[in-house]
Structure 1
Amino acid sequence: MNQDFASAALRYHAEPRPGKISVQSSKPCATQGDLSLAYTPGVAEPVRAIAAEPDAAYRYTSKGNLVAVISNGTAVLGLGNVGPLAGKPVMEGKAVLFKRFADIDVFDIEVEARDADHFIDVVSAIAPTFGGINLEDIAAPDCFRIENTLRERLDIPVFHDDQHGTAVIIAAALLNALELVDKRLEAVRIVCLGAGAAGLASMRMLRTLGARDITLVDKDGVLYAGRPDLNDYSRPFAVDTAARRLADVLPGADVFIGVSAANALPPELLAQMADRPIVFALANPDPEITPAAARAVRPDVIMATGRSDYPNQVNNVLGFPFIFRGALDAQARTINDAMLSAAVQALAQLAHEPVPAEVLRAYNVDALSFGPDYIIPKPLDPRLLERVSGAVARAAVDSGVARR
């Protein structure tokens, strides 16, 4: 990152008012009458209503459109365990995206938690305030247990975006890429480099959708059956193989998905993949391999990265605002696999449709159409709100987790 950009980023966050979010009243408070309704004595009426029927909170308070973005700061962006306070700019940024893309209000909450159990207790204690919980930047494997336990305890959606948001976008983009190369998810061989939260959740999603042949590789090599350092979350992905390195498993593979580190995919290995390979190099800010380097050895490759300056950006902003919008609109008790699968299908389908002129203008391009350089919608496509949120809300109703 150059010094000019770093300075501009600091000014952006500091001026003219520190931070990126603020709280504004949604009701008038200009007269004595307004005061009597906003607080005492008028506020007693919704208190009585909610005491009699807790779900009335969705009618009389902001609960139904309020999400908590919560982190302990143990895995912030690519910066690692910088702590909850240093992670606050990221959580505020997430709040901005929720509001910009789905008109959802957010309180960012940074928790100085001693351990996973302490964190779980804190979040459980404050959960009545919110219509949903977005867990963010929590290191594996604690993130898995934290989410699973909170889902069991709470009757509102709990969603770890680093897991499921990433998984939804990867799955939608991959379904479309496979369509272009005339391959089926059930028949392809997939290699995923990176076995943290994003990698495990994405492979779990692909299994749900029908993938059968998946090999995961982490910094210590292939996740093989009997490997002694695997945990309860990675062990189900261990495969019975003598292969131990990425170089042992990538030759002949149809799909490479990288959620690991810069330059982790050597061009000579990509050259050994199957015909019409699909490569999702999603490490940020620098991918496992750049599109230019990939195409130099495999002109037939379909590429996606996590960056906005390359085609096919796999970015969570395509998912979490709209998934939560649908869940909140349905007053869902959870976000389940049916809702996530609905989001995948809605995203994949939207990329097949004509792109509105306003999207072309926003990205300064003359045309976009379904093909190797357009396998996933652009984040600024206004149709995402209706299509993805609507699909998620319908799935919540159909799967029996909606309050309305």
Structure 2
Amino acid sequence: MSTFEQESLDYHKARNQFDSNGKIGTLITKPCDTVKELAMAYSPGVAYPCLEIEKDIDAAYDYTNKGNLVAVISDGTAVLGLGDIGHLAGKPVMEGKCVLFKAFAHVDAVDIELNVHDTESIIATVAAIADTFGGINLEDIAAPQCFEIETRLKEICNVPVFHDDQHGTAVITTAGLINALEMSGKKAEELKVVVIGAGASGIACANMYKALGVKNITMLDSKGVIHTGRTDLNEQKKAYAIDTTDRTPADAAKNADMILGLSGPDQISTDMVASMAANPIIFACANPTPEIMPALAKSVRDDLIIGTGRSDFANQVNNVLGFPFIFRGALDVRATKITENMKMAASKALAALAKESVPDYVAKAHKRDDMAFGPEYIIPSPFDKRLLVWVSSAVAQAAVEDGVAGVKDFNLEAYKAKLQAMADNAK
């Protein structure tokens, strides 16, 4: 067992007899130190907010924690790179997601692991409990089941439902693509994009690139290029079947402007990199070993922009840049759903923030002195506290514009000031 592995196991266990195992707990937000406070916290005083909510269900946002509470829900069928390990084996990951919600966006979250795997049971269970929360974050549910689950829950539930495995990487890589286009002078509609990996994340990324204007997308799964001659495609893959003679990753990579890897180690060769168009971009997102290591890719191209899912390389594609702030904005305007416009607003905010001067504390966290907008910095750092203001406000504004916000008289500047105060008061 490695030192890091043992340290991680120790981290998750109680440090003393008064501590708790795991990573999350309950924070009481109101005093309960006197008889009167006890009477208000529970019986008889608690009856009064109950009666207000009975008269107007939206009053739950005023008298309960609903407006700042997200459920992180998984069935454990596609946990990180570990696969179908079971619902309880996935619980440390879901607890970790709750930690990120709280640490980065001050959103309370609880993890719920479902010991059911069929589509109808998952949908029925989540729909039955959804009103308790301000939002639902679906996590690590295998494709293609996850597509139908999210789609139907979005139709049923009165709160935002967001499968981060689908949309998180899409939001972040779209931000990187926006900035790469600016640097290269290319236009989205002129690009050739190759997506290696046709799971939930790959499909969602391709969908967002299309929304950005990309028209030429070649997608590959474990059997090769997804083309119109194949008869083994699900509905999601069929949408990306193209009429082409390309069959292999090497075929697809020729003259590609971008390769997105959501597959596994060593899926992108140096020959593929060499065959790409001028000023190419690669997002090699497999973890812990990307499809190609940055140093190897750069050894054959000096005009390359490359990002990975790892924190020890530049341009990390990290979902924590997205989901905490997307939910923060959605919760604060009492959104009923997360729209395509809200996701694109998050991407554009991330892209814009990357062009701002990097604070000293961010550079210090990365131990870098070269953090400025350019090929080695096209995506903001997760440690940039401005993310809370930039991304959450953009998402909230988009929700208002799309007509899915429940708040009245939304004031964008006042909301930004509130977020700034929240960021300033963060530990």
Pairwise CA RMSD: 0.9
After superposition, give the CA deviation of every residue in 1:161-185 in whole Å (9 maximum; x if it has no partner): 0111110001001111121122111
Determine whether 1:164 maps to 2:167.
yes
Q: 1:240 to 1:329 in 2, by over 3 A?
A: same
Determine whether 1:77 maps to 2:80.
yes
The question of whether the paired residues in 1 share the 8 Å contact of 2:176 and 2:378 is answered with: yes
Hey, what does 2:277 align to over in structure 1?
274
SS across alignment from 1:234: helix
Structure 2 gaps, min length 5: 408-427
Distance 1:270 1:369 in 2: 25
The question of whether the paired residues in 1 share the 8 Å contact of 2:220 and 2:249 is answered with: yes
* Residue type of the alignment partner of 1:384: L
How many residue pairs were aligned?
A: 403
Hey, what does 1:41 align to over in structure 2?
44
Equivalence map 1:354-365=2 (5 Å): 354-365=357-368
SS across alignment from 1:70: strand
* Residue type of the alignment partner of 1:33: K
* Residue type of the alignment partner of 2:5: A
Determine whether 1:395 maps to 2:398.
yes
Determine whether 1:232 maps to 2:231.
no
Distance 1:168 1:387 in 2: 14
After superposition, give the CA deviation of every residue in 1:44-84 in whole Å (9 maximum; x if it has no partner): 11101101100000000000000000000000010000010
Determine whether 1:333 maps to 2:332.
no
Distance 1:272 1:71 in 2: 40
Distance 1:165 1:269 in 2: 26
Hey, what does 1:9 align to over in structure 2?
8
Distance 1:268 1:205 in 2: 28
SS across alignment from 1:237: coil
Deviation at 1:241, TM superposition (A): 1.2
Hey, what does 1:191 align to over in structure 2?
194
SS across alignment from 1:355: coil
Structure 1 gaps, min length 5: none
Distance 2:246 2:177 in 1: 25
Hey, what does 1:223 align to over in structure 2?
226
The question of whether the paired residues in 1 share the 8 Å contact of 2:131 and 2:158 is answered with: no
SS across alignment from 1:233: helix
Hey, what does 1:345 align to over in structure 2?
348
SS across alignment from 1:106: strand
Distance 2:189 2:352 in 1: 19
Distance 1:383 1:44 in 2: 40
Distance 2:241 2:158 in 1: 33
Hey, what does 1:264 align to over in structure 2?
267
Distance 1:337 1:56 in 2: 28
Q: Structure 1 length normalisation: TM-score?
A: 0.98
Determine whether 1:26 maps to 2:29.
yes
SS across alignment from 2:272: helix
Deviation at 1:242, TM superposition (A): 2.0
Hey, what does 1:117 align to over in structure 2?
120
Hey, what does 1:384 align to over in structure 2?
387
Deviation at 1:277, TM superposition (A): 1.3
Hey, what does 1:295 align to over in structure 2?
298
* Residue type of the alignment partner of 2:10: R
After superposition, give the CA deviation of every residue in 1:123-148 in whole Å (9 maximum; x if it has no partner): 11111110000000000000000000
Distance 1:146 1:180 in 2: 38
Distance 2:359 2:310 in 1: 22
Distance 2:315 2:369 in 1: 16
Moved over 4 A (4+): none
Hey, what does 2:411 align to over in structure 1?
none
Distance 1:265 1:231 in 2: 25
